[in-house]
Structure 1
C-alpha cells in the first residue's frame, strides 16, 4: 500500500511532459559562432579581466554601459559623417543599415546565445532554455531594430576611433617627438585621443572576448564608406598609391586604407614581432591579437600537421611533460636563458628542436609584463578554450611559463637575463600573476613537450651539475680561475714529489 501511494504521489503527466519537448531542435552549433561567454569556472578566478571597464561593444554587456560612453558613440558618429565626402549622408547611412539588416541572422549566429534562442511553449509564453549571465546583460536585444542600431553605433565608433588613432600616429611621425602648438590644439579637446590612459583602457576593452563584433561585418561596412573617407594624412608606404591621389599634407580620399590595416595599426602595441602574416579577416579583435603572437607556420594558409614536432600539436591523447624545475634550478644546472626581443611570443626553442642552438641554451622571446598582461592572456586563453581547443598555442605558452616561475627568485633571474621586462611592480607580483594565470586552465600536450624533456634530462645529468658548480665556485672570474689553476698545479707538483721520494 505504501509503495502504491508513493507511486501515485510522484506520477508525472506524460502528455504534458511531451508537450515541453520541441518538435525539432538544432543539435549542432552555428558555424559562424566565434564570440562566447567566458566559461564560469575561468571567469570566477578574475571576473574583472573579462568585463569591459570603459566601452561596451556588441550585445553581451550593453546594459552595463554608462551614459557618458553611449553619448560619446553618438558624438563619434557625427564626427565620422563629417569626415565623409558625400552629399546625401542619409542615403549612405541607409545603405549601412540595410547591409546590417540583411545580415542580422548571420551576425546573431556569431554569438553563443544565438544557439539557444527563446522559444514558445504551447501556451504562447516565452521559455528561455539557457541564461548563463549574472545580470541578464548577455541576453540579445529582442527588438531587431535596436539590435541593428547597436551594431551601427558600435561599428562607426570603432571606425572613427581607428582613423583618429592613425592620424595621431601620422602626425607624431611628421612632427617628431616634440609636440607643437598645432598638434596640441588638434587633439586636446577629443575625449579619447587627448587622454593616453583612456586610449589604453579602450584598447584593453576591445580585446575582451565578450566585447566583440564579428570582424567580417566591420570589414563589410567599412568597405562601403571607405571611398568617401577624407583623412588629413598621406597613405602609409605599404598601400597602393595607384588607387587614389594621395599627396603629403593634404586631405585625401583613401579607399586603399583597408580596415584590417587600420585594426593592425590600432593594436600594434601587441605586435612586437611585426607579424604581417595575421589573417586579413580574423574572427574579431581577440582573434587578431592572438594571431600576433603566433609564428607564420600556424597561419590559416598552412594547416596544422600534428605529426610535425616543430608545429604546435595539442592532442589530449597523452599527458604533457611538465618542467618540474624552476628557472633558478635550471640555472644551477647550467641552462642559459637567451632573450629574443623580436621573436613571436610562443617561439621558445632549445637544442632539442634546433640544431643551431648550443646544448644548454633556451631561447625565449622577451615578455613585457604590465597592468594589462593578465587581462590579455586570460581572454586569449578563453578564446582558445572555446574556439581552438586543439590549437591552444597561448595556453601552452602560459603553462610553460608557469613551470619556470615559482617564486620571486625565478622572476628576478628571468629579469636579469632579459627574458622578462617588469612594468608591473615587485617581482613577487609578477610571480603571483603568472601562477594564477593557469588556474582552471586545462593542461594538454603541447609544442614544448620535447623542450621540457630536454630540460629535465639536462638538469638530472650529474655531469652538467658538477660542471656548473665547478665553473661558478672556482672559475667565476679570471683571478679566481687563475688561482684555482695555480693551486691545482701546486697540488699536482707536490704530489709528484711525494711519490718520487717514496720510491
Structure 2
C-alpha cells in the first residue's frame, strides 16, 4: 500500500509541475484498476510474423476489387486460401467442385499405385514439413493438423500425377483431364494463380522420395512442359532451385539478367505521338521483357536530319535496313493478348508487389505499355507493326485492359528508367515534333504525299517563272563579261 501511495504522490507532484508549465493533464487514480493480471492480452495483439519462407500471398482488397475473378480459381482449389469454399463463377460450380475433389482422391490412388507406397507413408513426409509449409503462406488459417495434412496430401499428389500424365500424353490419352482441352486449360490457369499454390519444395520432395524414376526427368522439367504455353524460356537448373511455386516459375521464365533497376523520373508519351515524331516501331523477338530504344549518332547530334517521315511515306525505302537503322528505333517484344492474358499478368504482378518489390520486371514492363497504349489508335499502330497479337477482337478492350492492369500497383524502381528518359527526351525536341506535324499534315499517306510533292513542284516552277524576268538578264550579263 505504501508503494501505491508513493506512486500517487509522485503523480500529483508531476501534475502540479505540468500545470505550472501550462500543460493541463487530468490524472484519474482508481485503486480498483490496479491488479496483477493484464486487462488486454498484448501477446495476441502483436503484429503477425512474416516468416522467411513466406511466398504465397492473398490479393489485398484494393487490388482484388479491380478484378476478383483474376485471382479466383475456376474449378479446382489448391492450398488453404480457397479450401472448402465455393469460389467458382457459374451456377453449376458446386457440382464441378465436388467432381474435382473426387478426382483428387482418384489421383491419390493412382499415385499410390504408381509408387507402391501407402497414404500414411506419404502423409508422414507431409507431417514432418507441416510447419514449414504453413510458414509459406502470408496468413494464418483455421485448419487443424489432420485436415491440413489431408489437404496437402490430396493437392500435392493430384499435381504430381497430373504432371506425370501430361508428360506422356500418348500413354494417358484417355485421362479425364488431358482428353478434355477446355478442362485442361481451365486447370492450367487455376494452377498458376498466386492464391492457389502449394510450395514447390514439398512437391519436389514427394516426387523425389517416392517416384523411383525421378532422376530421368526432374519435376521442374515436367512443370515446364505442362505450363509450356506460359513459359518464355526454361530457366537454368541453378535458378530452378530458387523457384517458390508455379506462379514464381512463370515469372522466372520471363526475367532477364542484364536489366538494371533505378528510380524512374520520366514517363514516355503514347505510341502514336512517338510515331509522329519519327520513332520506328519494330518487333523484337528476344524475350517478353527485352525492350530497347536505338538512335543513330547522326540523329542524336542533328535531330533535324531525322527522315523517318520520308521512310514512312515512300514505302519502297522501308525494305532497306541500312536506312531504317539510321532512324530512332523502338524494339518491343511481341505481346499476345487472349482471354488468359489479364489473369496471368495480374497474378505475376501481385507476386512481384508482395515478394519482389525491388525487382518487379513484369510490373515495369506493363507500366511502360500503359504509357504507350492509351487509345484504340495506339493499339492499332502496334498491331500494324506486328507487336500486339489481338485475340480478343476489340482494340478498345485491349487499351482498357492495359490501362487497368497498373491500377493500385506501386513502382519503387524500374528496369526501364533509361528507356523512358530517352523516349521523353526524343519527344521533347522541337525538331522531332515539327517533323511530326509536317508528316501528319502533308505526308500522312501516299496520296497526300504525292499531292504535296506535286504541289511543291508546281510552286517551284511558278516561283521561277515569277522571278525569271528579273534574274535572267543579270545572269546573261554575267556570262557576257
**What is the TM-score normalised by the length of structure 2?**
0.77
Return closer, same or farther for 1:457/1:256 CA change in 2, 3 Å cut-off: same
Distance in 2, matches of 1:423 and 1:14, equals 70
For 1:440, the equivalent position in structure 2 comes to 408
**Pairing of 1:287-298 with structure 2 (within 5 A):** 287-297=248-258
Specify which of 317, 320, 330 is matched with residue 265 of structure 2: 320
- Please name the residue that 1:413 is paired with: 381
1:329-377 per-residue CA deviation (whole Å, 9 max, x = no partner) reads: 111111111112x322111111279999655111101010111111111
Inter-partner Cα distance in structure 1 for 2:29 and 2:287: 67
**Higher alpha-carbon Rg:** 2
Q: Does 1:283 align with 2:228?
A: no
Q: Comparing 329-338 with 282-291, which one deviates more in the overlay?
A: 329-338
Corresponding residue of 1:349: 292
C-alpha RMSD of the superposition: 3.3
Higher helix share: 2
Residues in 2 aligned to 1:24 and 1:485: alpha-carbon distance in whole angstroms = 80
Alignment pair present for 1:47 and 2:68 = yes
| 1:247 aligned partner | none
Give me the whole-angstrom Cα distance separating, in 2, the residues matched to 1:217 and 1:353.
52
Q: Distance in 2 between matches of 1:37 and 1:293?
A: 23
CA contact (8 A) 1:292 1:344 kept: no
What per-residue deviation string (whole Å, max 9, x for no partner) do you get for residues 58-83 of structure 1?
Answer: 11111116211110101122223333
* Superposition pairs of residues 72-471 of structure 1, within 5 angstroms: 72-84=103-115, 86=116, 89-90=117-118, 93-114=119-140, 139-142=141-144, 144-168=145-169, 171=170, 187-188=173-174, 190-227=175-212, 253=213, 255-273=215-233, 276=236, 279-281=239-241, 282-297=243-258, 311-314=259-262, 318=263, 320-323=265-268, 325-340=269-284, 342-351=285-294, 359-468=327-436, 470=438
Q: CA deviation at 1:462?
A: 2.7
1:421: how far off?
Answer: 0.5
Give, in whole Å, the separation in 2 of the partners of 1:363 and 1:215. Answer: 35
- What's the offset of the Cα at 1:488? 6.9
Task: Check conservation: 1:279, 1:288, Cα contact below 8 A.
Answer: no
What is the number of residues matched between the two proteins? Answer: 411
Give the 3-state SS of the residue equivalent to 2:211 in structure 1: helix
* Aligned counterparts of 2:446 and 2:237: Cα–Cα separation in 1: 46
| Post-superposition offset of 1:163 | 1.6
| Alpha-carbon separation, structure 2, partners of 1:97 and 1:275 | 30
Aligned residues of 1:278 and 1:291 also touching (Cα < 8 A): no
CA distance in 2, matches of 1:8, 1:69: 63
Residue 438 (structure 1) shift: 1.0
Q: State the Cα distance separating 1:12 from its structure 2 match.
A: 6.7
TM-fit CA distance, 1:391: 1.0
Equivalent-residue separation in structure 1 for 2:237 and 2:367 (angstroms): 25
Deviations 1:109-135 (A, max 9, x none): 111124xxxxxxxxxxxxxxxxxxxxx
2:295–2:329: 8 Å Cα contact kept in structure 1? Answer: no
Tell me which residue corresponds to 2:317: none
3-state SS in 2 of match to 1:160: helix
Per-residue CA deviations over 1:286-329 (Å, capped at 9, x if unaligned) read: 100011111244xxxxxxxxxxxxx2315xxx553112x21111
Q: CA deviation at 1:57?
A: 0.6
CA change 1:196–1:457 in 2 (3 A) is same
Give the SS at the match of 1:83. helix
Contact residue 357 and residue 412 of structure 2 kept, 8 A: no
Q: 1:361 to 1:352 in 2, by over 3 A?
A: closer
d(CA) in 1 for partners of 2:36 and 2:341?
55
What are the Cα deviations for residues 395-434 of structure 1, in whole angstroms up to 9, with x where unaligned?
1111111101111111111111111111112111111111
What per-residue deviation string (whole Å, max 9, x for no partner) do you get for residues 199-257 of structure 1? 11111111111111000111111001231xxxxxxxxxxxxxxxxxxxxxxxxx56311
Runs of 5+ in structure 1 lacking a partner?
115-138, 172-182, 228-252, 298-310
For residue 389 of structure 2, give the secondary structure of its aligned residue in structure 1. Answer: strand
Question: With structure 1 as the length reference, what TM-score do the two structures score?
Answer: 0.73
* Gap change, CA 1:367 and 1:276, over 3 Å in 2: farther
C-alpha contact 1:352 1:450 (8 A) present in aligned 2: no
- Whether the aligned pair in 2 keeps the contact of 1:35 and 1:212 (CA below 8 Å) is yes
Q: How far apart are the structure 2 equivalents of 1:48 and 1:153? A: 24
Against the structure 1 CA distance between its residues 358 and 287, is the aligned structure 2 distance closer, same or farther, given a 3 Å change threshold?
farther
CA–CA distance in structure 1, aligned partners of residues 466 and 197 of structure 2: 78
Summarize the Cα distance change of 1:222–1:254 in structure 2 as closer, same or farther, 3 Å threshold.
Answer: closer
Q: 1:205 to 1:326 in 2, by over 3 A?
A: same
Give 3-state SS (helix, strand or coil) of 1:113's partner: coil
Matched-pair contact (CA < 8 Å) for 1:312–1:393: no
